[in-house]
Structure 1
Amino acid sequence: MGIQDRYRITGMDCASCAQKIDTAVRRIDGVEDVSVSVSAGTMTVRRGEAVDPADPIQKIVAKLGYGIAPLAGRAAPAPAQNDHDHDACCGGHDHGHGAHDHDLDHDHDAHEHSHGHGQAPAVAATAAPPLDLHGHDVGEDDGAWWQTKKARLTLAAGAAIVAAFLVAYVVPEIRATTFAVAMLVGLIPIARRAFMAARYGTPFSIETLMTIAAIGAVIIGAAEEAAMVVFLFLIGELLEGVAARRARTSIRALSNLLPETARVEEAGGIREVPASALAVGAILQIRPGDRIAADGRILEGESAIDEAPVTGESVPKRKGVGDSVFAGTINTDGLIRVEVTAIAADNTIARIVRLVEEAQEAKAPTERFIDRFSRWYTPAVLVVGALVAILPPLVVGASWSEWVYKGLAILLIGCPCALVISTPAAIAAGLASGARQGLLMKGGAVLETLAGIHHAAFDKTGTLTLGRPVVSDIIGYGRSEAEVIGLAAALEVGSNHPLAQAILAKAADMAVAPGSAQEIAAVAGKGMTGKVGADSLMLASAAAAAAITPLTADQDAAIAALGGEGKSVSVLLVNDAIVGVIAMRDGPRADARDGLAALKSLDVAPVMLTGDNARAAKAVGDDLGIEVRAELLPQDKQRIIRELQAGGAKVAKVGDGINDAPALAAADVGIAMGGGTDVALETADAAILNNNVADVARLVRLARRTMRNIHQNIVIALGLKAVFLVTTILGITGLWPAILADTGATVLVTINALTLLVPKKG
């Protein structure tokens, strides 16, 4: 075991910056593992307890020319093994989910009622460790771009070139010296970074190539071009930095959704306290229009909650007593009292920001390949540049100045920044875009896998269905449907049992007011009894009703037919005469049919894997048009997934985040639909905060769009280099256009990646 520290790093523009930091910190004795993310602007270091985190880690990073400050929060023990193979963290997927898929054939005699509910007492807010999501202790990423060191250096280099032109115009004979001095204004900081990078393990950096090219140009008499190349290089770095800052702040902007203060109930009334100081158990008063300051549970009141800032869901959700609310969401129309269930460091927004930043540090297979390739690529460029400069003069007697010039241009063309950043920039933007839509993925490896899935295996209960019973059929015998549901609801008023809630919800939907019942009681093995006026009522199972009064042939056939469809049947008796039948089942989600159709349109075949009985599963499957495999044990689900994979298919397992560990372990990627719960955010490879089946297709679509973006970026990076390589060899372009093959390509691929931050409809 080691200690894990996280730092905010500023000044990184591309993956080669991250590689220099990674290499330097890894060389420190006692450092066990390092992960640096350009897009997140973070570094995670796992070290032995004997290593001082401030010395020399922070000193070395500062010497390399980057800002560094520890992220707030205590150091945490880290896993002992991390091969830097992030596939391993997802490939095994042992998510630790418990069993879930239940049969909804409830016995009505087990229908225990709980009238009323407990309420936790209000707990005064106490100070909690503040959460720093912004990294303000560093500062470089927080100010305007023109206030950065790179902006100041670029402006100074530009001013030096303007001055050189003026001096050269007045005193032409010192033209070369003037431009050489102007070049040094920008080159000295670059050369210093090259020296420090070489000293700490990265001799073949872009700064090294730039320094050699600029000095070589001065030696062969191209001082003006050398000065312009250095200036263009600095402009390119500045633009890279602006684009990188944009990508970095896109996800951290979520933290701005949290209000600075919250209204806390205390014995003496209401007091405003900092949101960062809220403790679990504190009672908040949330007025209409207020942002909710913490994750919590509604104790009193009802309101429509706008969750769009966190989950991307455009329609506010109606929530009442007992429902959960997220930090950063907006209370739109009613006064509610909320009990805090998570401190600031653990609320939904903090977990999303933390999860996405950690995911951005995890490398996808494509990214790891390009990283390995770039380690050989840069030294190879130096060799090729040297051969181009030396061989033609030596072999065929060509002009030394001409071919040395071309060799220096090739050094600039060969800089690997655009290629190296092509993948992580797109992945970071894809992860950030997903998070802002309530679609979370734990790293590039998960995103890359999702882009290629062929099958999506769904749980039934709580995933394709509501996970609770709903009234599906009402049959009246001598009474109207409204009368039947109104009398049944009279026996269920005040009950929290799922079957009772289903009956009460149906009555509300039908605008039927429950009757006023007295002497309500549960009869073991039979059901519920009570009185409405002079009538004696009983709501019982079919078997219990048949024991009281014989069923007619029509009644018996109707009950059998409903049971054959996987529905749970209750019979209403008035004065021992059957007056109605109420059937309930676990109803499909409203969005399930469209969500599954969207997956099919992406050539992803959905299948339902459930432990529920075959008739109930088939009824839901027929409604939704999905293949059904029912009455499965956990090992059966795992076996089916293995069978699908044996044919070369990639399989996603979609569930509520707390079940079927063997199936999730077998799947290529596990997707949790947990409504933002801890389990959904922390145990699966991907999580859908909206709890929306249609979002599975959106997740796949985003992953595929991101992979297309990566391929476009690689073509841009390599294509520009190929074009300028040919034109340089042919003598068409020189040093200053050559710099466009690197910094220009880097800016282009970064801008292209940022287009992923704009969500597409559908």
Structure 2
Amino acid sequence: MSSIKTLKLRIEGMDCGSCAVKIENALKRIPGVSDIQVSYAQESLAVSLDEDRSTRQAIESQIRALGFTPVGPADAGGASAAASAERRSIWLGKKAQLVLMTGLVFAVAFLAAWIWPQAERWLYSAAALVSVFPVMRRAWASARTGTPFSIETLMSVAALGALVIGAAEEAAVVIFLFAVGELLETVAAGRARSAIKALMDVTPRQALREQDGHLQTVPVEQLAIGDVAIVRPGDRIPSDGVVLEGESDVNEAPITGESVPVPKGGGATLYAGSINGNGELRMSISRPASDNTIARIIHMVEEAQETKAPLARFIDRFSRVYTPLAMVLALLIAVVPPLLAGADWMTWIYRGLATLLIACPCALVISTPAAIASGLASGARRGLLIKGGAALETLGKVKTVAFDKTGTLTEGRPRVTDVVALLDDESVVLAQAAAVERKTSHPLGAAIVEEAQRRALTLPDSYGAALTLPGKAVTARLKSGFVTVGSPRHAAEAATVSEDLQLTIRTLEAAGKTVVVVLAGKVVAGLIALRDEPRPDAAEAVRRLHAMGVGAVMLTGDNQRTGDAIGQALGVAVQAELLPEAKLAAIEALKHKGEVAMVGDGINDAPALATASVGVAMGGGTDVALETADAALLRNRVSGVADIIDLSRVTLANIWQNIALALGLKAVFLLTTVFGITTLWMAILADTGATVLVTANALRLLRYRGPQASHKVEP
């Protein structure tokens, strides 16, 4: 029997990627531990543990030595599961305790020095040593487990160096400010995690289940597939399901970001977390709470936050080199002027220590992941799901968007566009055609019946079964006689079609429409034209893309005539009559000009979605939409393509702002340090301030309001 088991823990105290790196490096050194996955965003750890070689206690002990707290198993869903429970207040955690301890020790030293000024240096030295001890212990734990150049190492060296040169008071202040900075990082990280917690809070905790004719209130976790639940007006939908009885308007904004309520009746799909409007609904549960739409969205966002963008990976690599180089620079500043120019040793050692504090990489390391996490969470709130930082970064660089036609730029079903009456008025022609087609299942026939219903027409009765000639016509006997609905070719064989009528048919077909002819006996009664119409927002979506400098092309297997008609209406370039292989070749050709996004319905477009630089699936929360592409538009609107590209661009801009803030502040304070302007406490305040500024700037993305406010992200 295998002794290897998967161990999952929730870990408190992780605020940035460097925290996760410390834990990962430490656990790599424990025998029997493999497949280490540390998520600071979810505060979770997952490892494969060989219990014959090591124990859970050894892992937890190592984590505690690094200054973090394992608080129990991480349930499925990572941070989302943890967020659903009451967390301990951060003000009761270790970092808050360090702030209180260092502040209290410094205050005692200050008061004592005021009473005994002759012992001032020794009092502050004692305060600094007491304060720096917890930091040194964490620095030592990090160093012996594979992370020698940690923030704790820099802080310990700087504090001890300050004591050696007699700057005891500043050493104590530096440790206190460092503790305050770490606590502020914890607060900021909690703000970022609250985005996922907000999604989790959308799902109700209880449901009204119908069983054996009785209603009972149960936790949503107890709902099973096939259970029947009652959703009263104003209640949230407890899990995914289908309407059995009732009609109501349902607000799906928590899922799709769409604020307009959606009418729901028998057979309609309901999504967990949606808000029922004005009618009671009786529904059948189709997914358990652990696998409903909200749960899957949360899981996808959590996974996405752990998928690093190329820029984030570069920053990580850079920071690994940056920190030791910064320590070397600080050493050179401390020793070169005294050795070569005979400068004062104490002065330049002091400046070297200040440089060491300025060099702390926290702000730089957190600049990218903080922005990406906020961008992903902000998109999820608006029905824009992006599967990871790599996809988010690529979307912002897209030069061309390739659209599938059917179901993407168009609605995916034919609609009646024209009715041409020759014998009677339009209503009579349409009603007769619908009476013939209502007994068939052909998509064109269904569209004719739907249009007649939309116009509230009374359909004449038909007698007997309809006679169907596949691909040609359908005939039924009405009270007025036999009526046939068929193709123009069949009509030409069965009746006389005038030149003028043939011209009308050709004109309609040139517009990409399918024409059927209605025959009353052997006489042409009229024409009905149908077309898979563009989505209402398709033209506006293409216009917005062009305004953003992004090209748009429609790739379709449909005939050139239909493709050109739709393309001309939308203002999009067209490549038609493409077989699947040709569609892939077209995408490859477009990729030579820059990054390409492919937008499809997530079903038959899977190869094209995979071939493109980034695939975007249309779909209102369907499995395919969530699983096949790099991103999904839950609103099922073409305009979401422009939204998601704009969100990516705003996020990338935020990242570069963060990098500029982090490196810019360090450059300024490095110059002031060399010229003797910066003190030790100002140096650590600069690093803490940069970290707080970078995090706060990233959190602005949580208030992103869309393209109309792209450059006006609320402060």
TM range (shorter): over 0.9
The answer to whether structure 1 residue 627 and structure 2 residue 630 are counterparts is no
> Which has the higher mean CA deviation after the structures are superposed, 733-742 or 178-187?
178-187
**CA–CA separation in structure 2 for the residues paired with 1:699 and 1:440:** 9
- Counterpart of 1:71? 74
How far is 1:7 from its partner? 4.1
CA contact (8 A) 1:433 1:758 kept: yes
How far is 1:608 from its partner? 0.6
**CA–CA separation in structure 2 for the residues paired with 1:536 and 1:292:** 50
Q: Indicate which of 592, 604, 609 corresponds to 1:646.
A: 592
Runs of at least 5 residues in structure 1 that lack an aligned partner in the other structure: 74-129
How far is 1:400 from its partner? 2.1
**CA–CA separation in structure 1 for the residues paired with 2:501 and 2:616:** 44
How far is 1:476 from its partner? 1.3
Alignment of 1:58-207 (within 5 A): 58-68=60-70, 69-73=72-76, 133-135=80-82, 142-207=87-152
> Which has the higher mean CA deviation after the structures are superposed, 61-70 or 429-438?
61-70
**CA–CA separation in structure 1 for the residues paired with 2:465 and 2:211:** 38
Runs of at least 5 residues in structure 2 that lack an aligned partner in the other structure: 708-715
**SS of 1:133's equivalent?**
helix
CA contact (8 A) 2:174 2:681 kept: yes
- Counterpart of 1:305? 250
Q: Indicate which of 223, 236, 246 corresponds to 1:278.
A: 223
CA contact (8 A) 2:44 2:79 kept: no
After superposition, the Cα gap between the structure-2 partners of 1:702 and 1:533, relative to the gap in structure 1 and judged at 3 Å, is: same
Q: Indicate which of 305, 309, 312 corresponds to 1:360.
A: 305
CA contact (8 A) 2:401 2:596 kept: yes
Alignment of 1:681-696 (within 5 A): 681-696=626-641
**CA–CA separation in structure 1 for the residues paired with 2:665 and 2:421:** 76
What letter is aligned with 1:60?
Q
Q: Deviations over 1:173-192 (max 9, x none)?
A: 22223223333443222222
**CA–CA separation in structure 1 for the residues paired with 2:521 and 2:626:** 52
Q: Deviations over 1:507-537 (max 9, x none)?
A: 3433434445454535343544445555544
- Counterpart of 2:649? 704
The answer to whether structure 1 residue 218 and structure 2 residue 220 are counterparts is no
**CA–CA separation in structure 1 for the residues paired with 2:636 and 2:337:** 66
The answer to whether structure 1 residue 611 and structure 2 residue 557 are counterparts is yes
**CA–CA separation in structure 2 for the residues paired with 1:387 and 1:327:** 61
Q: Indicate which of 438, 441, 449 corresponds to 2:394.
A: 449
- Counterpart of 1:232? 177
After superposition, the Cα gap between the structure-2 partners of 1:553 and 1:674, relative to the gap in structure 1 and judged at 3 Å, is: same
After superposition, the Cα gap between the structure-2 partners of 1:334 and 1:615, relative to the gap in structure 1 and judged at 3 Å, is: farther
**SS of 2:80's equivalent?**
coil
**CA–CA separation in structure 2 for the residues paired with 1:522 and 1:292:** 45
> Which has the higher mean CA deviation after the structures are superposed, 527-536 or 441-450?
527-536
> Which has the higher mean CA deviation after the structures are superposed, 56-65 or 634-643?
56-65
- Counterpart of 1:12? 14
- Counterpart of 1:724? 669
**CA–CA separation in structure 2 for the residues paired with 1:50 and 1:281:** 44
After superposition, the Cα gap between the structure-2 partners of 1:365 and 1:730, relative to the gap in structure 1 and judged at 3 Å, is: same
**SS of 1:281's equivalent?**
coil
What letter is aligned with 2:570?
L
Q: Deviations over 1:426-446 (max 9, x none)?
A: 111111111111111111111
How does the TM-score come out when normalised to structure 1?
Answer: 0.87
CA contact (8 A) 2:84 2:197 kept: no
**SS of 1:381's equivalent?**
helix
How far is 1:293 from its partner? 1.2
Q: Indicate which of 552, 563, 566 corresponds to 2:512.
A: 566
CA contact (8 A) 2:256 2:620 kept: no
After superposition, the Cα gap between the structure-2 partners of 1:750 and 1:572, relative to the gap in structure 1 and judged at 3 Å, is: same
The answer to whether structure 1 residue 421 and structure 2 residue 366 are counterparts is yes
**SS of 2:201's equivalent?**
helix
What letter is aligned with 1:65?
G
Structure number with the bigger relative contact order (C-alpha 8 A, sep ≥ 6) is 1
Q: Indicate which of 600, 608, 624 corresponds to 1:655.
A: 600
How far is 1:280 from its partner? 1.8
After superposition, the Cα gap between the structure-2 partners of 1:638 and 1:724, relative to the gap in structure 1 and judged at 3 Å, is: same
What letter is aligned with 2:558?
D
After superposition, the Cα gap between the structure-2 partners of 1:612 and 1:321, relative to the gap in structure 1 and judged at 3 Å, is: farther
**CA–CA separation in structure 1 for the residues paired with 2:88 and 2:442:** 55
**SS of 1:197's equivalent?**
helix
- Counterpart of 2:710? none
Q: Indicate which of 400, 408, 415 corresponds to 2:353.
A: 408
Q: Deviations over 1:245-268 (max 9, x none)?
A: 100121232010001112223232
Q: Deviations over 1:531-582 (max 9, x none)?
A: 5555544433334444443333333332333333332223334455432322
Q: Indicate which of 601, 612, 636 corresponds to 2:547.
A: 601
CA contact (8 A) 1:25 1:60 kept: yes
- Counterpart of 1:553? 499
What letter is aligned with 2:64?
A
**CA–CA separation in structure 1 for the residues paired with 2:154 and 2:399:** 45
What letter is aligned with 2:185?
E
- Counterpart of 1:290? 235
How far is 1:639 from its partner? 1.2
**CA–CA separation in structure 2 for the residues paired with 1:268 and 1:717:** 64
What letter is aligned with 1:474?
V
**SS of 2:250's equivalent?**
strand
**CA–CA separation in structure 2 for the residues paired with 1:269 and 1:529:** 51
How far is 1:215 from its partner? 1.7
**CA–CA separation in structure 2 for the residues paired with 1:464 and 1:382:** 56
What letter is aligned with 2:15?
D
How far is 1:61 from its partner? 2.1
After superposition, the Cα gap between the structure-2 partners of 1:616 and 1:51, relative to the gap in structure 1 and judged at 3 Å, is: farther
Alignment of 1:467-478 (within 5 A): 467-478=412-423
Alignment of 1:483-494 (within 5 A): 483-493=428-438
- Counterpart of 1:82? none
Q: Indicate which of 677, 684, 692 corresponds to 2:622.
A: 677
How far is 1:451 from its partner? 0.8
How far is 1:45 from its partner? 3.8
How far is 1:637 from its partner? 1.3
The answer to whether structure 1 residue 382 and structure 2 residue 321 are counterparts is no
> Which has the higher mean CA deviation after the structures are superposed, 223-232 or 576-585?
576-585
**CA–CA separation in structure 2 for the residues paired with 1:376 and 1:566:** 60
> Which has the higher mean CA deviation after the structures are superposed, 156-165 or 209-218?
156-165
What letter is aligned with 1:594?
E
CA contact (8 A) 2:468 2:474 kept: yes
The answer to whether structure 1 residue 241 and structure 2 residue 193 are counterparts is no
**CA–CA separation in structure 2 for the residues paired with 1:504 and 1:331:** 30
CA contact (8 A) 2:32 2:54 kept: no
The answer to whether structure 1 residue 326 and structure 2 residue 271 are counterparts is yes
Q: Deviations over 1:720-750 (max 9, x none)?
A: 1111111111111110000023111011000
**CA–CA separation in structure 2 for the residues paired with 1:651 and 1:403:** 54
Matched residues, percent identical?
51
How far is 1:634 from its partner? 1.4
**CA–CA separation in structure 2 for the residues paired with 1:193 and 1:479:** 90
**CA–CA separation in structure 2 for the residues paired with 1:5 and 1:513:** 67
- Counterpart of 1:25? 27
Q: Indicate which of 39, 42, 45 corresponds to 2:41.
A: 39
Q: Deviations over 1:640-665 (max 9, x none)?
A: 12222224x11111111122344333
After superposition, the Cα gap between the structure-2 partners of 1:581 and 1:137, relative to the gap in structure 1 and judged at 3 Å, is: closer
**CA–CA separation in structure 2 for the residues paired with 1:267 and 1:132:** 37
> Which has the higher mean CA deviation after the structures are superposed, 514-523 or 367-376?
514-523
**CA–CA separation in structure 2 for the residues paired with 1:572 and 1:518:** 18
> Which has the higher mean CA deviation after the structures are superposed, 270-279 or 356-365?
270-279
What letter is aligned with 2:29?
R
What letter is aligned with 2:93?
T
CA contact (8 A) 1:10 1:138 kept: no
